[in-house]
Structure 1
Amino acid sequence: MVDCTGPKLFGICHRILGDEAEAEDAVQDVYVSVWHRASSFNPERASPITWLATIARNRAIDRLRSSRRSRQGASLDLAFEIVDERPDPEQGALSADAARRLSLCMDELEGRQQAAIRAAFFDGLSYPDLAERGKVPLGTMKSWIRRGLQQLKNCLDG
């Protein structure tokens, strides 16, 4: 998990904090927090990476605020430079609707295609890993995923 999500979370924290060491500490705090709060994850509300990114952003902002409070006479003017990247309510509703549509379209796929696409795009497995896991030739796995993605596109466009 750390190999897949660490660079993105570090980037978020570093952009907010502006300090590499502080960003590394913030990312460490994120993983500890996720470890303790894993049961609070709700896949219907957000994807795993969105959930992690939100936690990272909030953790970095908390660290930024804490360090500013500790400095005497620190200016809060920099706080206005922090961009709230959360979607507005309309975007949130559209995202939730898109997630529901994607889920319904995924359910229409044949079982092997669905499993391969989920493993490739949600778990980050490579085509060779998927082919080995499914005990099928690499070309077959690529075809399953390509046809499945085309079916998803048609379903989502329709």
Structure 2
Amino acid sequence: MTTRDDIETLILRVGTGDRAAFRALYAATSAKLFGVALRVLGDRAEAEEVLQEIYVKIWHNAARYNVNGLSPMTWLITIARNAAVDRLRKLRRADSPAELQERIADPGAGPEAMAIAASERARLATCLAELAATHAEAIRRAYLEGETYAELAARFDVPLNTMRTWLRRSLLKLRECLTR
């Protein structure tokens, strides 16, 4: 089992161009990052393509990783989530809703979604429960379903800057809770 410190060390080594560390980082984290992409996109083929983009971004940005005492998986998952959301937005623009629905896989939890859920689901659920219900829902919609700030602001009938503040403060509370 790869520990938090192991992953952090691997990221730092990848930042120096260490290909062996990159292979080890991929082996240790690809299932989880694939699960993030699959959860956002709902389509295995799209998630596989995004996974390649995720690791290209990790390779190019590992030297910028800042050791700050927080989980290195948070950094990796943020890269994965952002790449998947970007792909989802491109798909939404490119396809009609009917075409997109046809391409999306069964939304039921598959093996990849269950694998990612198994590792930290209970902790995350506990931390989400500490947030106000509307804030927790906004976090879920933004980071698991890929909704934009503007979409969330309209959904919750609040100004855009208020939504940004909700999400920023909620993420800080989640980070604090998850590091306890």
Q: If the length of structure 2 is used for normalisation, what is the TM-score?
A: 0.44
TM-score, normalised by the number of residues in structure 1: 0.50
Instruction: Compare CA radii of gyration and give the structure with the larger one.
Output: 1
